[in-house]
Structure 1
Amino acid sequence: MENIITLAHGSGGSATLKLIEQVFKKYFNNEILSQGDDCARLAMDGTKSLVFTTDSFVVTPVFFKGGDIGKLAVCGTVNDLSTSGAIPLYLSCGFIIEEGFSIEELEKIVESMSDTARECGVQIVTGDTKVVQKGAADKVFINTSGIGAVPDGICISGRNARVGDKIIITGTIGDHGSCILLERENMGFQAEIKSDCAPLSGLVRDMLEAASDIHVLRDPTRGGVATTLNEIALQSKVSIVIEEDKLPVKREVQGVCELLGMDPLYMANEGKLLSFVPAEKAEAVLEAVRRNKYGAEARIIGEVTGEGEPKVLLKALSGGSRIIGVLAGEQLPRIC
């Protein structure tokens, strides 16, 4: 590992995973941290358990088509809680604000957070504010932490994928990463691409009503679908096959990726879920997802094919297959 931090360490890819393993887990590791999911499940007296998660947001620009850093902060934390099957309850928020940042823009961000929290049915109950001198930060950074309650009988984890599980993606991939790329770089493309930033707790409730035994839920944010599938394969020690012709990608996103030499599989998403569902329940879950406004374009994109060596294969349109790995290097910094 490099002896300095680079932007690649924030990409959510292989450099991030190495940093976690070689630095943070070296000193912080314990039974709860080693669960390896997007939130920690905390054992409580009785039959219920709480989950806890935290996330920091440094996206630039802070306002973008489809959202802003405030909406993103609430959605990101609510969605991480929801991937455990939990009902999100409470959030905290911490602001690091650069001297000179507009109070009018700050109020827009806070209002956006309030509106999104209301949609999710969560309360923002505590927080913190720090201001740093001009040049010591970039406009505003936000940290949000969240607590949720897992209903009885729900056991969802990246460690639970099973052979035969069907893999559902709840909509088109790469929208958020493509949106941020275009708005930040001002490349002159005419494509109207909006971020998919969305709160998914209601969608998860609909899915669990269709099948309470969903094995895995994960939101494929940094590193995209490819990296997230690899993480799940590693946690569950399984092999996964996805089919290229089943992947839902907007034409505009595909076009931008082709022009810039990028792959939608590695582009960030902020309003999509990957779910691993027992084969006999897959159609019922898919139908429930498609009835929700955040899942109208959901599809089954693959399945878990075996145990043993963790790997993810992409079955190409040409009929061949290739291994898709974890994002290597830095594709696009500060996307969330």
Structure 2
Amino acid sequence: MNIGDRILLAHGSGGKLSHELVTGVMAPVFDNSILAEMHDGAFLNIKGVQLAFTTDSYVVKPRFFPGGDIGKLAVCGTVNDLAVSGAEPLYLSAGFVLEEGLALAELERIVASMGLAAAEAGVQIVTGDTKVVERGAIDGIYINTAGIGAVFPGVHISAGRVKPGQDVIVSGCLGDHAIAVMSERHGLTLPAPVVSDCAPLAGMVKDILKIAPQVPMLRDPTRGGLATALNEIALQTGMGILLEETAIPVRPEIKAVCDILGFDPLYLANEGKVIVLVEKQDTEKVLAAMKSHPYGLHSCVIGAVTARPAGQVGIKTAIGGTRMLDMLTGEQLPRIC
């Protein structure tokens, strides 16, 4: 594996270079059975209590965008990582790195947004840290959040439980977050307003697991989008995944922007969507539960797990052909963090 001798922006895009950086540099040094799961959160057994633990850092630009801001994003992102680990989010930490000269009113607005998001998600921010660096060292504010949650009884989210014949469900339209951030950053006038899907998904995931605790895999398609998230699952499981292009939900305004600028919505970042792999006999009841939730109204089946091609993701196109989908290669465009 050759990741080069310098860190590139693409190493932080959540795609192939990010994967190679983690597996080639970090994982061999930190190697342990918990880390080896390579899920969105770590599974911990502490004196018989099953917990999930996760952490993430947020550097989005601009800090405020339609539908959210860096504070809401930090809370929702960590809450969602716990949720897709099959856990009920309970407690978060919040670490702030602030640039000298940041307007206090801006910080107050971001902190207030975090409070509202935490209240909606039903979590408490119980510890944290603040550092201030000299002007120009960072872009205003960076936030790190970590979270801990209790794994629901009988739930076991694991790549080892993914098998052929399971349906692949996504909870709604793709690409809203990436295009909302890009349009705000560059001052674009779009055919219709685009709002980020940034939202805490713990409530919807709890409803899913209440009726189908046997769900084998959950994942949120953030950096690198749907295609990269599914490739990660395929690589971990050794299974194939075959999607139906015509079944994948994308809003017309998002598709229009992608057509004009040459983006593929399958690789656009999302911050309020979940991928659910489910046994066929559970598909309808899981869909019903998701569609009854405000954040899952447009949930639909978009494909299935297959035995072949092993470790790869394919998509049946609208004209009847099949093409392979790789992980995001190179830098994510539009860049969202």
- Which residue identity does 2:38 align to in structure 1? G
Question: Are 1:315 and 2:316 matched, yes or no?
Answer: yes
Matching residue of 1:196: 197
Amino acid at match of 2:34: I
Other structure's SS at 2:249 match = coil
Structure 1 residue 210: deviation in Å? Answer: 2.1
Moved more, 242-251 or 190-199: 190-199
TM-score, normalised on structure 2? 0.97
State yes or no: 1:40 paired with 2:68.
no
In structure 2, the residue corresponding to 1:294 is in which secondary structure?
helix
Match of residue 260 from structure 1: 261
**Which residue of structure 2 lines up, in the alignment, with residue 13 of structure 1?**
15
Mean Cα displacement is larger for which, 13-22 or 307-316? 307-316
> 1:233 and 1:148 mapped to 2: Cα distance?
26
Change (3 A) 1:333 1:4: farther
**What fraction of aligned residue pairs are identical, expressed as a percent?**
52
One-letter identity of the residue aligned with 1:217: L
Deviations 1:103-150 (CA, angstroms, capped at 9, x unpaired): 111011101101111111111000000011110000100000000010
Q: Is the Cα–Cα contact under 8 Å of residues 70 and 109 in structure 1 kept in the other structure?
A: yes
Helix, strand or coil: the match of 1:203?
helix
Residue 17 of structure 2 aligns with an amino acid whose one-letter code is A
Structure 1 unmatched runs, 5+: none
Q: Distance in 2 between matches of 1:101 and 1:243?
A: 47
1:30-52, Cα deviation, whole Å (9 max, x unpaired): 11111110000012223x31111
The offset of 1:307, in angstroms, is 5.7
The residue that corresponds to 1:62 in the other structure is 63
Could you tell me how far 1:189 is from its partner in structure 2? 3.1
| Amino acid across the alignment from 1:14 | K
- Equivalent position of 1:28 in the other structure: 30
Cα distance in 1 for residues equivalent to 2:131 and 2:159:
35
Instruction: Map 1:169-318 to 2 at 5 A.
Output: 169-306=170-307, 309-318=310-319
Asked if 1 retains the 8 angstrom alpha-carbon contact of 2:191 and 2:253, the reply is no
Partners of 1:237 and 1:307 within 8 A in 2? no
Equivalent in the alignment of 1:98: 99
Q: How far apart, CA to CA, are the structure 2 residues paired with 1:13 and 1:151?
A: 30
**Letter paired with 2:74:** A
Question: Which range moves more in the overlay, 270-279 or 179-188?
Answer: 179-188
Q: 2:213, 2:61 → 1: CA distance?
A: 38
**Deviation of 1:64 (Å):** 0.4
**1:168 lines up with 2:169 in the alignment:** yes
Which amino acid in the other structure matches residue 304 of structure 1? V
Give the SS at the match of 2:169: strand
Deviation, 1:333, is 6.5
Larger deviation, residues 159-168 vs 115-124:
159-168
1:187, 1:122 → 2: CA distance? Answer: 35
Opposite residue 137 of structure 1, the aligned amino acid is I
Q: Which residue of 2 aligns with 1:139?
A: 140
Cα pair 1:7 1:333 within 8 Å, conserved? no
For the 8 Å contact 2:168–2:303, the answer to whether it is kept is: yes
One-letter amino acid of the counterpart of residue 23, structure 2: E
The separation in 2 between residues aligned to 1:327 and 1:191, in whole angstroms, is: 27
Deviation at 1:28, TM superposition (A): 1.1
